[in-house]
Amino acid sequence: MNALLSVYHKEGIVEFARALVELGFKLYASGGTAKALSEAGIPVTDVAELTGRSPILRHRVITLSGEVHAGLLAADEDSEELERLGLPRIDLVCVDLYPLQEEIAKPDSTRESVIEQTDIGGPTMLRSAAKGRRIVICDPADRQRVIEWLKNGKPDEDKFITDIVAKAEFVVGNYCSLSANYHSDGGYYSLAGRRVRPLRYGENPQQKAALYTCDTGDPLALDKFEVVAGSPGWMNDADLDRLINIITTAAAYFDRNNERGVPYLCIGAKHGNPCGAAFGSDWQGVIHRMLDGDPRAIFGGVVITNFGISKAEANTLLHHNSKERRLLDGIIAPSFSVEAIEILQRSGSKGFLAVNPALGNLSQESLSPAWHLRQVRGGFLLQQPNPFVLDWKDERLQIQGSVIAWDQRDNIGFAWSLGSRSNSNTITLVKNGMLIGNGVGQQDRVGAAELAIKKASVAGHDPRGAVAYSDSFFPFPDGPQVLAEAGIKVLFASSGARKDQEVIEACEAARVTLCLIPDKVGRGFFGH
């Protein structure tokens, strides 16, 4: 058997090559890889000996030869022709590609540097090997898996080969799409995903569904969350995604504005919108206030924290102010103790517990840099992530009225982080470090204000002295007047309406401090 190795990153290639030799493979390798293997004392033939030609064009053309690709594409019935030509059949190919994505991501990259890091021979070999149904390795993580498979006698060979062939085609396709997107300045855009796990069903039981990852390296990507109990479904994963957005936005605010860093955060959501949320210096108070925010809505909700869950935290989540065990569909945290898992897990696949240690170290850097994609009929919409993070040092902020105390500033920042990640139109009320009312998804701003006040009152909260956040400007004074009549003392919104001055005057008359950010800078629409 013959193997051809040509890798950009040399880590681990010597050990892999040695294992192949022990299994009886004859090794061929391109220049740099051949040198690394030879220096390690591993018998290897430079691919130049196979092609009969030295590399040309500054080593750009090495493996792009008929001799190499004949060995990769030849079928069983072509063996006599290969023998007549004096060419070996190549049974295994191990290739990793030039780091194109990393080069594109560099702030100082140029078209010339991107072209230099655009691999041609590697993708061509992978595709030939895939078409020839060879053992094709395009991911260093698969090398040991291949060795174990070979040692075990190639079990389920057809399925194994089909899987790695499909992966090679996927890697090449994604690689080419990166180049197309870069050179077209966004004129072409491809989305490539790898299935992580099937889901029980989609939004409804009659719909099939699965979770895919784009392998971006994001430590907070959904595939980086380990499910330690239960089995999340479509809506659970959708809620998890929204909760990650919310908690990282809150962390970004505190990291930027608070010298003490990010406090304890606990957020509960229902259908993607916060229905309970709190921040503070002790975990127990934070959980209590999150659960008390909207006791009716949190039933069947999903909760995320930036602190670990042990026995005490688990019992608090299930039994605080509840005679019966509280029903939660999911809990996500940096860690769970064994006792906590036993306490929180539900029977069968109902509910889920998911762990990601990255939640325990959130900061401004935790915000996702990825562009947001939304499928529409016949295509998709694409937008950059919202770059705005509330910063009290921002010179564009205008404060009309009394000076805002520091504790109230954090309440406003928390309200902004929750409201700007709720379905617009939204009015969000926060008091004493907790969400007391979230009027989301309304067609008018007065209705959103009325809904937020109603939800606060139904949950037993007094809105007097609370702060309010509006995810856009008030077109008329009526929205602020509704909030002022309920006792709201501080209001944060954007400016840009034709009647901004009337809104300002209405707030002054009601002795409501109004904090404004230009709409073009800080509007918080989300989830349209």
Q: What is the pLDDT of residues 306-324, one digit of tens each?
A: 999 999 999 999 999 998 9
The H-assigned helical ranges of 77-196 are 79-85, 100-105, 111-116, 121-131, 143-151, 157-183
pLDDT for 60: 59
% of the chain residues with pLDDT over 90: 81
- The CATH fold of domain 2-183: Rossmann fold (3.40.50)
DSSP letters, 239-286, are HHHHHHHHHHHHHHHHHHH-TT---EEEEEEETTEEEEEEEESSHHHH
Render pLDDT for 432-490 as a digit per residue (tens, 0 to 9). Answer: 999 999 999 999 999 999 999 999 999 999 999 999 999 999 999 999 999 999 999 99
Q: Is 61 helix (H, G, I), strand (E, B) or coil?
A: strand
Mean pLDDT check: name the lowest of 28-32, 57-61, 203-207. Answer: 57-61
DSSP letters, 178-240, are HHHHHHTTTSS-----EEEEEES-SSSTTS-EEEEE-----TTSGGGSEEEEE---HHHHHHH
Separation of alpha carbons 484 and 197, rounded Å:
49
Average pLDDT over the chain reads 93
pLDDT at 53 over 70: no
Asked if the domains 2-183 and 219-366 are classified in one and the same CATH topology, the answer is: no
Confirm if 410 and 254 have CB atoms less than 8 A apart. Answer: yes
Q: What is the homologous superfamily of the domain 391-522 according to CATH?
A: AICAR transformylase, duplication domain (3.40.140.20)
- Under CATH, which architecture does the 219-366 domain have? 3-Layer(aba) Sandwich (3.40)
Render pLDDT for 142-155 as a digit per residue (tens, 0 to 9). Answer: 999 999 999 999 99
Render pLDDT for 350-387 as a digit per residue (tens, 0 to 9). Answer: 889 999 999 999 999 999 989 999 999 999 999 999 99
pLDDT for 63: 66
Strand ranges (E), 319-415 = 328-333, 352-355, 372-376, 379-383, 398-400
**Amino acid present at 364:** Q
Q: How confident is the model at residue 75 (pLDDT cuts 50, 70, 90)?
A: confident
Length of the chain: 528
pLDDT for 156: 96
pLDDT for 528: 83
Q: How confident is the model at residue 196 (pLDDT cuts 50, 70, 90)?
A: very high
Could you tell me the residue ranges of all domains in the chain?
2-183, 219-366, 391-522
pLDDT for 348: 76
pLDDT at 91 over 90: yes
Tokens of 59: 């080593």
% of the chain residues with pLDDT over 70: 97
Mean pLDDT check: name the lowest of 22-26, 296-300, 405-409. Answer: 405-409
pLDDT at 51 over 80: no
pLDDT for 50: 74
pTM (two decimals): 0.90
Render pLDDT for 389-401 as a digit per residue (tens, 0 to 9). Answer: 999 999 999 999 9
Q: Summarize the confidence of residues 239-253 as an average pLDDT.
A: 97
Mean pLDDT check: name the lowest of 63-77, 207-221, 280-294. Answer: 63-77
Integer angstrom CA distances of residue 14 from 27, 42, 145, 211, 483: 12, 8, 16, 35, 69
Give the list of residues 6+ apart from residue 350 with CB closer than 8 angstroms, or none: 230, 329
pLDDT at 62 over 70: no
pLDDT at 54 over 80: no
pLDDT for 79: 81
pLDDT at 58 over 80: no
Q: How confident is the model at residue 119 (pLDDT cuts 50, 70, 90)?
A: confident
